[in-house]
């Protein structure tokens, strides 16, 4: 049964409400509300309870939304643009995370300078450092600073107001932990502050069409009060990582609404800032000693490109009752699993040895295609017998000891061939690629025999 909706309407401006109030919510006039019963918007049930003041949201047909890639600000730092998916999108919020000292501020200042050189007005909120410190870094990087406005402010709202006043197209906030939102009790960088700052920034960036990048320190040990809290809010999350003590830096997109995830950019930290590495595979394989045991090369697919990396393993007699297993760049559980497969399927037991496994240049192995390389590196380390340096390894290792095929093997083989590898141990079903000899292996036993014989059977 249709029933008239009753409510109150402002005699001055027509504002409507379901409950009587003394002052109009729209024109602020006092005592201007009159009761009405309006049959035209009648309905029953829950709809009748909807406040008559709710304004219907605008709708549009999906077909009418223009299908355009959208604008991007290209930073002209090739490896950064690659990870961003071709530049930074106006109105988006990007988080760049990483350990303190890894080079976030350096990268941000370099990106700011490149964008400013293209005529964009760039704001740089230096909540963490004084303008003097930023100036010193800029001088080291050879950046004059035209077009970059520093905003030395830790109140987020004041900083954003300043950025609006400057009419910026791109804003960098270094770092998210150093700014605070007024009116919240918790300390800067705390969970409540981070969530609120993130939510405000998302709305602000979108509303003003400003490309906004925030940096954040990732606390080792996965402390919850870190920038990981922001991951679900922001449009893209890039993490900066490095190998132990090396100068190579890997920037990885773990989330990107405007590009591929798992895309990596490779940089080298030099005396004059970060330099994009043009041939990352060659950089990852640099400087290896052909006589060293425990080293095996494989090719990964990272985002849109293949990358060759080296797995290094070391095994030494352990003084401990429970020998150590140390992994960097791969999960320690993967190391345990492959040692178990090696013992059961290959007959090689590392029970009384400390075993360490690492991956070159700060790369992380996520994909099981590197299993075979890890396995042969372990065998080579346990036996202290070097592998043939012209041979690479591809294949996933099953618990049963069989070697499983890997995806995109052609692209991986081409990359290995380009780097001068003449042979590759690979699953039996792999299709050949010109320039690299395939040595098909079906099982762990067969792979170990071929690997230790220098790939020549
Ligand atoms: P920084 O960008 O301040 O790191 P983050 O913001 O992630 O904490 O980088 C700090 C390190 O980088 C510091 O150890 C010095 C080094 N560095 C260089 O090697 N070359 C350079 O040109 C610059 C600016 C820094
Ligand atoms: Mg910094």
CATH number at residue 337: 3.30.230.10
pLDDT in tens, 353-403: 999 999 987 788 888 999 999 999 999 999 999 999 899 999 999 999 999
Mean pLDDT of 30-46: 62
Distance 424 CA to ligand 2 centre (A): 42
Q: Which residues contact 407 (CB under 8 A, 6 or more apart)?
A: 301, 369
Higher-confidence position of 363 and 161 = 161
Distance 233 CA to ligand 1 centre (A): 28
Which two structure tokens, joined as six digits, stand for 357? 């496994």
In this structure, the answer to whether residues 214 and 341 fall within a common structural domain is: no
72 in a domain, yes or no? no
> Strand, coil or helix: what is 154?
coil
What is the structure's pLDDT at 208?
A: 93
Atom in ligand 1 nearest the alpha carbon of residue 269: 19
Mean pLDDT of 414-441: 93
Q: How confident is the model at residue 69 (pLDDT cuts 50, 70, 90)?
A: low
Task: Answer yes or no: is pLDDT of 224 > 50.
Answer: no
What is the structure's pLDDT at 251?
A: 93
What is the structure's pLDDT at 41?
A: 46
Atom in ligand 1 nearest the alpha carbon of residue 109: 2
What is the tally of structural domains in the chain?
Answer: 3
Atom in ligand 1 nearest the alpha carbon of residue 272: 22
Distance 406 CA to ligand 1 centre (A): 38
What is the structure's pLDDT at 109?
A: 96
Task: Answer yes or no: is pLDDT of 225 > 70.
Answer: no
What is the structure's pLDDT at 37?
A: 73
| Phi and psi angles of residue 324, each rounded to the nearest 5 degrees, phi first | -80, 150
Mean pLDDT of 21-33: 81
Domain finish residue from 225, 243, 278: 278
Q: How confident is the model at residue 455 (pLDDT cuts 50, 70, 90)?
A: very low
In this structure, the answer to whether residues 91 and 131 fall within a common structural domain is: yes
The CATH number given to whatever domain includes residue 269 is 3.40.50.300
The region of weakest confidence among 31-40, 82-91, 137-146, 401-410 is 31-40
Query: Which ligand is nearest the CA of 178, by number?
Result: 2
56 in a domain, yes or no? no
The region of weakest confidence among 169-173, 231-235, 442-446 is 231-235
Q: In which residue are the tokens 């770092």 written?
A: 175
Which residue lies with its CA nearest to atom 14 of ligand 1?
Answer: 101
In this structure, the answer to whether residues 306 and 392 fall within a common structural domain is: yes
In this structure, the answer to whether residues 332 and 236 fall within a common structural domain is: no
Task: Answer yes or no: is pLDDT of 428 > 50.
Answer: yes
Which two structure tokens, joined as six digits, stand for 385? 């017998």
Whole-number average pLDDT of the chain? 88
In this structure, the answer to whether residues 325 and 436 fall within a common structural domain is: yes
pLDDT in tens, 244-288: 668 889 999 989 998 888 888 999 999 999 999 988 888 888 766
Distance 215 CA to ligand 1 centre (A): 14
In this structure, the answer to whether residues 347 and 381 fall within a common structural domain is: yes
Query: How many Cα atoms within 13 Å fall on the side-chain side of residue 273?
Result: 19
In this structure, the answer to whether residues 92 and 193 fall within a common structural domain is: yes
Which residue lies with its CA nearest to atom 9 of ligand 1?
Answer: 103
Task: Answer yes or no: is pLDDT of 5 > 70.
Answer: no
245 lines ligand 1 (CB under 6 A): no
Task: Answer yes or no: is pLDDT of 457 > 50.
Answer: no
Domain that holds residue 217: 78-278
Taking alpha carbons only, the member of 185, 198, 124, 128 closest to residue 159 is 124
Distance 131 CA to ligand 2 centre (A): 13
Model pTM? Answer: 0.79
In this structure, the answer to whether residues 105 and 237 fall within a common structural domain is: yes
Which residue lies with its CA nearest to atom 22 of ligand 1?
Answer: 273
In this structure, the answer to whether residues 274 and 292 fall within a common structural domain is: no
Query: Which ligand is nearest the CA of 127, by number?
Result: 2
102 lines ligand 1 (CB under 6 A): yes
Dihedral of the alpha carbons of 391, 396, 399, 401, in degrees to the nearest 10: -40
What is the structure's pLDDT at 46?
A: 47
46 in a domain, yes or no? no
In this structure, the answer to whether residues 152 and 270 fall within a common structural domain is: yes
pLDDT in tens, 294-339: 999 999 998 888 999 999 999 999 999 999 999 988 999 999 999 9
In this structure, the answer to whether residues 237 and 305 fall within a common structural domain is: no
Q: Which residues contact 374 (CB under 8 A, 6 or more apart)?
A: 296, 311, 313, 330, 334, 335, 338, 357, 365
């Amino acid at each position: 049964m249709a029933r008239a909706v009753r409510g109150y309407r402002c005699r001055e401006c027509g504002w409507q409400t379901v409950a009587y109030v003394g002052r109009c919510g729209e024109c602020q006039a006092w005592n201007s509300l009159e009761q009405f019963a309006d049959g035209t918007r009648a309905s029953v049930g829950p709809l009748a309870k909807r406040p008559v003041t709710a304004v219907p949201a605008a709708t549009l047909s999906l077909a009418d939304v223009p299908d355009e890639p959208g604008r991007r600000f290209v930073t002209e730092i090739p490896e950064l643009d690659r990870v961003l998916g071709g530049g930074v999108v106006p109105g988006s919020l990007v988080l760049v995370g990483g350990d303190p000292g890894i080079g976030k501020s350096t990268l941000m200042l370099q990106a700011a300078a490149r964008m400013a050189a293209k005529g964009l007005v760039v704001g740089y909120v230096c909540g963490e450092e004084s303008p003097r410190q930023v100036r010193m870094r800029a001088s080291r990087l050879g950046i004059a600073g035209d077009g970059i406005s520093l905003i030395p402010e830790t109140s987020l709202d004041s900083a954003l107001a300043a950025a609006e006043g400057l009419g910026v197209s791109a804003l960098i906030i270094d770092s998210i932990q150093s700014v605070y939102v007024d009116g919240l009790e918790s300390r800067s960088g705390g969970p409540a502050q981070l969530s609120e700052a993130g939510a405000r920034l998302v709305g602000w960036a979108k509303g003003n069409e400003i490309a906004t990048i925030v940096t954040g320190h990732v606390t080792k040990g996965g402390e919850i009060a870190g920038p990981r809290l922001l991951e679900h809010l922001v449009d893209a999350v890039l993490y900066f990582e490095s190998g132990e003590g090396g100068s190579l830096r890997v920037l990885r997109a773990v989330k990107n609404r405007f590009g591929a995830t798992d895309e990596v950019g490779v940089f080298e930290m030099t005396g004059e800032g970060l330099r994009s590495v043009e041939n990352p595979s060659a950089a990852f394989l640099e400087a290896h000693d052909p006589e060293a045991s425990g080293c095996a090369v494989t090719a990964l697919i990272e985002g849109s490109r293949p990358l060759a990396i080296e797995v290094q393993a070391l095994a030494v007699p352990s003084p401990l009752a429970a020998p150590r297993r140390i992994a960097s760049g791969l999960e320690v559980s993967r190391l345990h699993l492959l040692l178990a497969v090696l013992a059961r399927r290959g007959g090689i037991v590392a029970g009384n040895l400390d075993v360490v496994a690492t991956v070159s240049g700060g790369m992380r192995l996520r994909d099981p295609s590197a299993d075979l390389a890890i396995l042969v590196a372990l065998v080579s380390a346990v036996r202290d017998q070097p592998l043939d340096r012209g041979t690479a390894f591809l294949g996933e290792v099953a618990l049963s000891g069989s070697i499983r095929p890997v995806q995109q093997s052609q692209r991986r083989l081409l990359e290995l061939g380009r780097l001068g590898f003449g042979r590759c141990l690979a699953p039996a079903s792999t299709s050949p690629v010109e320039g690299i000899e395939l040595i098909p292996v079906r099982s762990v036993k067969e792979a170990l025999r071929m690997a230790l014989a220098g790939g020549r059977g």
